[in-house]
Amino acid sequence: MRPSVLVVGAGPAGLSAAEVLSQAGWSVTVVDALGSAARKFLRAGVGGLNLTHSQPLEAFLETYGPHRPRLEPYLGRFGPAELQAWAGGLGVSVFTGTSGKVFPQGMGAAPLLEAWLARLSRQGVIFRTGARWMGWSSQRDWEFEDSGGAFRLEADAGVLALGGPTWPNLGTGGSWVSLLEAKGVTLAPWRPANVGFTVDWSPVFREKFAFQPLKETVLTFRSVEGTPWRRKGELMVTPWGLEGGLMYAAGARLRNGIEAEGRMAVALDLAPGRDLNRVEADLSRPRQGRSLSTHLQKTLGLAGVKAGLLREVLKPGSPDDPSRVAQLLKALPLTLTGTRPLAEAISAAGGVRWDELTPELELRRLPGVWCAGEMIDWEAPTGGYLLTACFSLGRAAGEAIINSRIGQET
Ligand SMILES: Cc1cc2nc3c(=O)[nH]c(=O)nc-3n(C[C@H](O)[C@H](O)[C@H](O)COP(=O)(O)OP(=O)(O)OC[C@H]3O[C@@H](n4cnc5c(N)ncnc54)[C@H](O)[C@@H]3O)c2cc1C
């Protein structure tokens, strides 16, 4: 008889495990609590599915920061190049954007997912959606609940690929945590990653500039460890603070700083194309009775949200001589007071601790059960790093099961 495996969670990690196992001839059943597979993956495609990144592997791995040593063994086997080839194998070509990010042609996730699910079905994978995993009655017996009530499924091995607690309508909000904790499995606390930060904007600024992009801005700050951080990119002003690529890239450091000190001081360079002297010289041109806003626009081409930010910091009545304004434009001080909630985050840090897992991703306390994807304790910025690692971990779990004692015995 073919060995059987239950994959719980039909996101990219679970589907990757199912793919490898079904290719190897295993009888695979994929169960998901939601009514259809890979809801978060599909949602990720709404603004353009950033599948992976085209930078050299060394730079790619470096982006995982302190999590690199844990993830490298898996990413070394299935990384950005393999993921692009995999998409091509499904008939979906990819392209590299100007920033080096890799997207499927057409940007969306639907064609890729459709082709993937069709291939998995052809390989014999059985899908049971709308069924929530509720725990185990014995080592081989898995308990589920769907609209028809409770039922059990038996399998030789199991993969948990349950995702994180973000965007709860696209998953189960991490409700599976108590099931693992009941078995003694420890988890690192969930923390929001790739999320917005709060800034106490004045009501006037908030009303006028919420949801306006801040292009060509340099973010600088000093991490709690004292390391300087500086990068150019884009931000979005939100009613509650700042969000966007730059905040995501700096996110873990900013979040750690806020956790340690309650707030984080950052600075924005709103005129990165000119140095301080040049900005001051430009602003020193005769003002000829013009308002500061008009002068900024005439001399530096600064208007809209950038000018609004300057006014937000330069309170009415305070000096607005060229030297002071230039200094503010080159290093506008802002205080981040917190992170937005987990439910809004693109991903989560925290989850099943690495020391609960063997290097093959099997739970030490629950032999026969493997874990994969975002439910494990790692994090990465946006840029395709999240999905690449989820695919990679899912495939690694599948391969490990094939090579395990269960795979060899059955
Ligand atoms: C808005 C948004 C945009 C994103 N954009 C990108 C992007 O462009 N690039 C990128 O790299 N990443 C992106 N991400 C992150 C990426 O989508 C996730 O990291 C990835 O989907 C995680 O994959 P996973 O398989 O580990 O978990 P998930 O995709 O979360 O899948 C887990 C599955 O487990 C199921 N499940 C949970 N508990 C149970 C249970 N008890 N019983 C049954 N089933 C259960 C859930 O229903 C879910 O379908 C984005 C995320 C969001 C929210």
Chain segment 182-196, per-residue pLDDT in tens: 999 999 999 999 999
Q: Is residue 173 very low, low, confident or very high in pLDDT (cuts 50, 70, 90)?
A: confident
Atom of ligand 1 nearest to the CA of 133: 42
pLDDT digits 0-9 by tens, 143-168: 999 999 999 999 999 999 999 999 99
What's residue 290's pLDDT? Answer: 86
Q: Is residue 318 very low, low, confident or very high in pLDDT (cuts 50, 70, 90)?
A: confident
Question: Which candidate, 376, 410, 381, places its Cα nearest to that of 159?
Answer: 376
Task: Say which range, 45-54, 104-113, 283-292, 323-332, has the weakest mean pLDDT.
Answer: 283-292
Whole-structure pTM value: 0.95
Q: How far is the CA of 117 from the centre of ligand 1 (A)?
A: 16
**Could you tell me whether strands 213-222 and 228-238 are parallel, antiparallel, or unpaired per DSSP bridges?**
antiparallel
- Average pLDDT of span 355-367: 97
Atom of ligand 1 nearest to the CA of 134: 41
Strand order in 149-154's β-sheet?
A: 132-138, 141-146, 149-154
CA 7 to chain centre: 22
Q: How far is the CA of 400 from the centre of ligand 1 (A)?
A: 22
Pocket residue to mutate for ligand 1, from 84, 386, 393, most atoms within 8 A of Cβ: 386
- Average pLDDT of span 112-136: 97
CB-based contacts of 353, cutoff 8 Å, min separation 6: 186, 187, 188, 377
By the 10 Å C-beta count (0-12 exposed, 13-18 middle, 19+ buried), 408 is classed as exposed
What's residue 410's pLDDT? Answer: 63
CA 211 to chain centre: 20
Residues in contact with ligand 1 by the CB-under-6-Å rule are 8-14, 31-34, 39-41, 43-44, 49-50, 132-133, 161-163, 166-167, 171-172, 176, 346-347, 373-374, 382, 384, 386-387, 390
Pocket residue to mutate for ligand 1, from 8, 36, 40, most atoms within 8 A of Cβ: 40
Atom of ligand 1 nearest to the CA of 388: 11
Atom of ligand 1 nearest to the CA of 176: 41
Q: Is residue 74 pLDDT above 90, yes or no?
A: yes
Mean pLDDT taken over the chain? 95
Q: Is residue 1 pLDDT above 80, yes or no?
A: no
What's residue 409's pLDDT? Answer: 74
Q: How far is the CA of 40 from the centre of ligand 1 (A)?
A: 4
- Average pLDDT of span 293-311: 93
State the CB neighbour count (10 A cutoff) for residue 153: 18
Percent of the chain at pLDDT exceeding 70 = 100
Q: How far is the CA of 305 from the centre of ligand 1 (A)?
A: 34
Residue closest by Cα to atom 19 of ligand 1: 386
- Average pLDDT of span 367-392: 97
| Location of structure tokens 């259809």 | 36
Q: Is residue 405 pLDDT above 90, yes or no?
A: no
State the CB neighbour count (10 A cutoff) for residue 275: 13
Is the Cβ–Cβ distance between 115 and 100 less than 8 Å? no
Residue closest by Cα to atom 53 of ligand 1: 346
- Average pLDDT of span 6-32: 98
